[in-house]
Structure 1
Amino acid sequence: MSRRNVSSGSYLEPQIGFSRAVRIGDIIAVGGTAPISAGGGTDCIGDVYGQTKRCLEIALNALSDAGAGPEDVIRTRILLTDVTTWQEAARAHAETFTDIRPATTVMEVSGFVDPDWLVEIELDAIAVTAVKKD
């Protein structure tokens, strides 16, 4: 089986030595995805819901680049710096995965690389559907 690394263009990828996603065979793992705005910096500062939406957007773009779609996601992890905000993150997650309903873990962590990040998302998928990439 071949290995395919997917980059999101994050400034942290070469610094830390990671890929946004890795695909081997039909298995795709998307690493901890932070709410980095398109132009750099943190998106939606102070807004857990907005940051979760941004994390999911980046993670699902990486998943698409790896040849899969949201319907292929089997597990997500929502990491929060304040677990009392879980409902805001859960609302964004539910909007994305209402009909898919992957196995999900919500947990609190002491912090992230950037103190403005309130949430990170990880996801795992098994590519059973074909996604057409231009």
Structure 2
Amino acid sequence: MIRKNIPGTSPFEPIIGFSRAVRIGNQVHVSGTGPVGADAVDVSEQTNRCLDLIATALKNAGSSVEHVYRTRMYLTHAADWEAVGHVHGKFFGQIRPAATMVVVAALLNPAWRIEIEADAWIPE
């Protein structure tokens, strides 16, 4: 199988040594994606930003949000679950991927309230 790293725009990629996504065969694994550039907005807008960045990574890998089969959401505030879930539902309400939502103590940037991972496939 051929591996292809998909870069993003995060300033942390070269420092930490990761890719926004990695494509292996017809699978795409998107790294934990924080709301880069949306630090000062509410959690709904931060969630939109994360999912927009994920959508771009998927497109660059040859896939799309319609082919996501798994998401993982990391929240810093349990009370944000409903707002995050609403935005997630706008993106994935028709496909309904397997999803996990976990509350964590902190994320890399203290202003971030959400980080999201996604896995998708590429139709043959």
Query: TM-score under structure 2 normalisation?
Result: 0.96
Aligned structure 1 segments of 4 or more residues deviating by more than 2 angstroms:
none
- Check if 1:12 corresponds to 2:46: no
Counterpart mapping for 1:1-134 below 5 A: 1-37=1-37, 43=38, 45-128=40-123
CA contact (8 A) 2:68 2:119 kept: yes
CA contact (8 A) 2:7 2:19 kept: yes
Alignment deviations for residues 97-124 of structure 1 (CA, whole Å, 9 cap, x no partner):
1111100001101101110000001000
Paired amino acid for 1:53: N
Tell me the percent identity: 44
CA contact (8 A) 2:75 2:113 kept: yes
Equivalenced residues, count: 124
Could you tell me how far 1:46 is from its partner in structure 2? 4.8
CA contact (8 A) 1:26 1:127 kept: yes
* Unaligned ranges ≥5, structure 2: none
> Which SS does the other structure have where 1:76 is aligned?
strand
Structure 1: how far apart are the matches of 2:120 and 2:58? Answer: 8
Aligned Cα RMSD in Å? 1.1
Number of the residue aligned with 1:132: none
Alignment deviations for residues 60-85 of structure 1 (CA, whole Å, 9 cap, x no partner):
10011000011110000111001121
Structure 1: how far apart are the matches of 2:8 and 2:35? Answer: 12
* Unaligned ranges ≥5, structure 1: 38-42, 130-134
